[in-house]
Amino acid sequence: QLVESGGGLVKPGGSLRLSCAASGFTFSNAWMSWVRQAPGKGLEWVGRVKSENNGGTTDYAAPVKGRFTISRDDSRNMVYLQMNSLKTEDTALYYCTNLGKVPWGQGTLVTVSS
Amino acid sequence: DIQMTQSPSSLSASVGDRVTITCRASQSIATYLNWYWQKPGKPPKLLIYAASSLQSGVPSRFSGSGSGTDFTLTISRLQPEDFATYYCQQSYNTPITFGQGTRLEI
């Protein structure tokens, strides 16, 4: 399963770090993505980190590139999303997922507002 | 970026109906296509992966087909629990993209 945490209320320009704890599958082999969903809107891919066996490289969606950073800690079965220079349009429910057979978690809500 | 376009955006149907949702990619994505459903207040759940493979535990009334640019999700006999929003998603390359969603209503 996947359990996200770390969401909350933050002012524009602020930072937040989301965490995702994984269990029940071989995490070290998984390519992990973050996907967000603004209130009442559809799903938007934020970015991905590949497995270390595939270089552990990251890719990001254009709206967050340069502001967000995804990392992983295979020793702890954790994936992280560091969000800097937050904007009001980053307000959303954030999910971590392998976009595959592992069930999605409940997500963690990030609200960017003054 | 690969654009994923679903049609229709919303659909009204009745229990027992056969329903088809389509998803079109702006360029070929082979069969790198997943389908999800999402109910209000819940996370998305994987229905179909690799365009036509049924995820474990998903009822057999769901089926997926297609390759290249055109894909379909078919529900053979709608059940009350099937009323939800459906999304397609391509993983052929990054950025990974989702369709805008199809809201299936009674």
Percent above pLDDT 90 for chain A: 100
Q: CB within 8 A of B42, min separation 6: which ones? A: none
How far is residue A63 from each of residues A60, A72, A77, measured CA to CA in Å?
Answer: 8, 21, 27
Arithmetic mean of pLDDT over chain A: 97
Instruction: Please name the member of A48, A100, A104 whose beta carbon is closest to the beta carbon of B44.
Output: A104
For A41-96, the pLDDT digits (tens) are: 999 999 999 999 999 999 999 999 999 999 999 999 999 999 999 999 999 999 99
For chain A, the straight-line distance linking the first and the last C-alpha, in angstroms and rounded, comes to 34
Query: Looking at residue A15, what is its pLDDT?
Result: 98
B89 contacts in A (CB within 8 Å)? 43, 45, 99
Chain A contacts of B48, Cβ < 8 Å? none
- Sort strands B62-67 and B53-54 into parallel, antiparallel or unpaired: unpaired
> Does the pLDDT at position B86 exceed 90?
yes
Specify the amino acid at residue B34: N
- The DSSP call for residue B32 is -
Q: Which residues of A touch B88 (CB under 8 A)?
A: none
The 10 Å Cβ neighbour count of residue B56 is 7
Please list every residue in chain B whose beta carbon sits closer than 8 Å to the beta carbon of residue A33: 96
**pLDDT tens-digit map of B40-58:** 999 999 999 999 999 999 9
Nearest CA-CA distance, residue B37 and chain A, Å: 11
The answer on pLDDT for B65 being more than 90 is yes
Q: Which residue of B has its CA nearest to A102?
A: B46
Percentage of chain B lying above the pLDDT 70 cut? 100
CB contact under 8 A, B95 and A42: no
- The pLDDT of residue B106: 82
Interchain pair B100, A42: CB under 8 A: yes
